[in-house]
Amino acid sequence: MNVKLTGWKAVAALAMVPLYFLYYHASFSAGMPYALDVIKTQLAGSYYMAEIERQKAEGALTGVEKITVSLDDVEVKTFLRKRPVIRVKPLVNGEPPPDGKEYRYFVADYSPLIGWGAIYETGKTAWSLW
């Protein structure tokens, strides 16, 4: 299939390329706070469960205090159709996490039309291989 664009059609086609990139970046950035909220919720849940399991092992289930998860350092690797890989440095109640993992890695489903989809934890390999 051979398509020739001349005149105003060529200009319109060339104008669409940067517009698509701008749209993609704008929709990606606008949804990023949602993605980070999902990651914080997942991390808080895993830290709650770890604390409950620790208390069960000790034989005294005394209850779990409020756990506040904040993300100190967030980096994202993505390029158009590839799934974004997100690296976060969590802080639990303002301190390093009790599990000793300085960084946690997440892979997300993202589409400029639908937005953010499933976000799930992965390993450092996904970050390194990106």
Burial class of residue 46, CB neighbours in 10 A (0-12, 13-18, 19+) = middle
Residue with the bigger pLDDT between 23 and 96: it is 96
pTM above 0.85, yes or no: no
- Tens of pLDDT, residue by residue over 41-73, are 999 988 888 888 888 888 877 777 788 899 989
Kindly list the domain boundaries of the chain, sorted by start residue.
8-129
- Spatial strand order of the sheet with 85-92 comes to 69-77, 85-92, 104-111, 115-122
What would the two tokens of residue 58 be?
């000790």
What's the CA gap between 70 and 97, in Å, rounded? 10
pLDDT at residue 71, rounded to an integer: 92
Average pLDDT of the chain, as a whole number: 85
Per-residue confidence band for 112, with pLDDT thresholds at 50, 70 and 90: confident
What backbone torsions phi and psi does residue 92 show, to the nearest 5 degrees? -105, 115
Predicted confidence at residue 43, as pLDDT, reads 92
**Structural contact between residues 25 and 60, judged by C-beta atoms closer than 8 angstroms:** no
Q: Check: CB of residue 109 under 8 Å from CB of residue 122.
A: no
